[in-house]
Structure 1
Amino acid sequence: MQAAIAYIPTVVRGLREQLRRLRDEVGMRKVVVTNLHPMGCTPMFTRQLNYSGCDQAANAGSDQHNAALRSVLAGLDPANRTFLLLDLHTPFTALVDDDHRPSSSDASSRNDETKGRFPVRLRPCCESFSAGGYCGQQDDAGKKQYTLCDDPEQHFYWDDVHPTQAAWAAVADTFTPAIHDFLST
């Protein structure tokens, strides 16, 4: 994890250069840029914790990347006319991370909608029999090396890193208005 975190400045510098190029050389007038969701809440990391919680060290890496990305966008586009930072981190966190989900006393939260939306938040619907395996894997005889849940709508994650269709729909509901506003200006 430390190696990935050490690479963040290089990644963000590359993003800054490519965003500048899109604006200045290609002439893009509107660009939507996504930040990182809480990576430590993906089953790739939660499996090591028996799906009982998010890996906070991995989430710290996502937070560090997102802070650097916000800084880059502020420098490139202080008025937010060309670039929209599409926040994936906040809705993902609200839906999957018990340590950071809004409390019931937070009247401004979407707590009622998010708290029970996905009863299975940290375990994937499609789970490999082995830690090094993958969803859809078969042995040499064609026997499945994974299990599938009965109801993907109850799961936030489909496999080790990808949200289910229901999860993406829930997340998209939170940022669709921001995209419409950005594109209409």
Structure 2
Amino acid sequence: MLVLLLIFRETEGAKKTYGVYDSSNPVKLFIFGDSYVDTGNFVHSESYKVPNGITYPGKPAGRFCDGRNLADYLASYLKIETPTPYAFINSTNMQCGVNFGYGGTGVFSTSIDGPNTTSQIDSFQKLIEQNQIIKQDLQSAIALVNAGANDYTNALKDGKFLNLPSFRDSLVKQIAVNLKRIHSLGINKVAVTLLQPVGCLPVLNLIALRLECVDLLNAVSRDHNKLLLQAVQDLNQETGGQSVFITLDLYNSFLSAIETIKKQRAENSTWMNPLQPCCEGKTLADSCGTVDDNGSKRYSLCDTPTLSFFWDVVHPSQKGWSAIFPLLQSSIGQLITT
């Protein structure tokens, strides 16, 4: 058995997560969702523009942050390389699975012209039908699904937010349909993330001067998660009580990591304010990586990205994910042990 030892020095969290890769590991990871898990599918986006990727791998690489994201950390935990983005797959690079995640998309259609979760699962099914993914690949496979936040943002723009309970019900029902479909295609371990505390995102916590999360907005996440937890419980009951479906609690993991950082800062930690983005557009029309016609930056960048929790106004930095991921590991362990 060939074991490759890789040592990374960015953060203590990364040291705990990145380490040993096992080339004989039969586990394959199939990823569906949005920019929290996209590792390169949204080719014509700011994820391929400077300064994204500044921490890892040192240049833009298709991730909406300065380095690794949730998909990378989960793959490393499973001791496999990060699965190849669907946009770049071929017959030789799917040994660890496929990442279908696409930044900006959602469970339903959003303002981004990219594949929503249903379309991503369609692509997965097509690979199975073409025998590019065989049943043997699926026997030890794990699926990760992260979607929903962009749907709420889109609903706010389209006025659907005015009938939030009805929209939330339809959203969670569709997530359940997607999870059940992934399982029906042959994957017996499916992890779905709970919605992050949206009131903590810098794009929204600005109304609290980025000193606190906005609890009124976090209530949207809590209500969504309550319904999703029940839906997952119902799905497991349909499978005879097996723990096919598990949830990864991004909501409480975000909150816990943020509060821990706040306490550390009070003790002279070098962390930035965890509710402050490292990279931010100069106007609402600009984003991290935006330049004008002359190539001049339309964004500001913090001095030390590796000390930030949020990379931009929506996405955690690599340092942020390294603080969040250990809080998810007890749940993720169920993917392997059950």
TM bracket (short chain): 0.7 to 0.9
In the superposition, relative to structure 1, how do residues 19 and 181 fare at CA in structure 2: closer, same or farther (>3 Å)? closer
Q: Is the 8 A contact 2:194 2:225 kept in 1?
A: yes
Aligned residue in 2 for 1:107? none
Task: Give the CA deviation at 1:92.
Answer: 0.2
Q: Name the CA shift for 1:66/1:122 in 2 (closer, same or farther; >3 Å).
A: same
The one-letter code of the counterpart of 1:47 is: L
Amino acid at match of 1:30: K
2:291 is matched with 138
1:112-155: CA deviation from partner (whole Å, max 9, x where unpaired): x7732744111100011113321111112111011110112221
The CA distance in 2 between the partners of 1:183 and 1:39, in whole Å, is 30
Structure 1 residues 158 and 18, CA, compared in 2 at 3 Å: closer, same or farther? same
Unaligned runs of 5+ in 2: 1-155, 266-270
Q: Distance in 2 between matches of 1:114 and 1:90?
A: 15
Q: Give 1:179 shift.
A: 1.3
1:92 lines up with 2:254 in the alignment: yes
Amino acid at match of 2:281: S
Distance in 2 of aligned mates of 1:148 and 1:119: 13
Q: Matches of residues 18-37 of structure 1 in structure 2 within 5 Å?
A: 18-23=178-183, 25-37=184-196
> Once structures 1 and 2 are overlaid, which stretch shifts more, 117-126 or 145-154?
117-126
Relative to structure 1, the CA distance from residue 115 to residue 80 in structure 2 (aligned partners, 3 Å threshold; closer, same or farther) is farther
Counterpart contact for 1:120–1:154, Cα < 8 Å = no
Q: Which stretch shifts more, 160-169 or 3-12? A: 3-12
One-letter amino acid of the structure 2 residue matched with residue 168 of structure 1: W
After TM superposition, the structure 1 = structure 2 runs for residues 12-161 of structure 1, keeping only pairs within 5 Å, are: 12-23=172-183, 25-78=184-237, 79=241, 81-96=243-258, 101=259, 111=260, 115-116=263-264, 118-161=271-314
Structure having the higher helix fraction is 1
Aligned-residue Cα RMSD (Å) equals: 2.0
Deviations 1:61-106 (A, max 9, x none): 111110010010111114451011111111101122xxxx4xxxxx
Relative to structure 2, which stretch is displaced further, 66-75 or 169-178?
A: 169-178
2:236–2:245 CA contact under 8 A, matched in 1: yes
After TM superposition, the score normalised by the length of structure 1 is 0.83
| Percent identity of paired positions between Structure 1 and Structure 2 | 32
State the TM-score, normalizing by the size of structure 2. 0.47
Between stretches 150-159 and 49-58, larger displacement belongs to: 49-58
The yes-or-no answer on 1:163 pairing with 2:320 is no
Q: Is the 8 A contact 2:200 2:212 kept in 1?
A: yes
Which amino acid counterpart does residue 115 of structure 1 have in structure 2?
K
Aligned residues, how many? 170
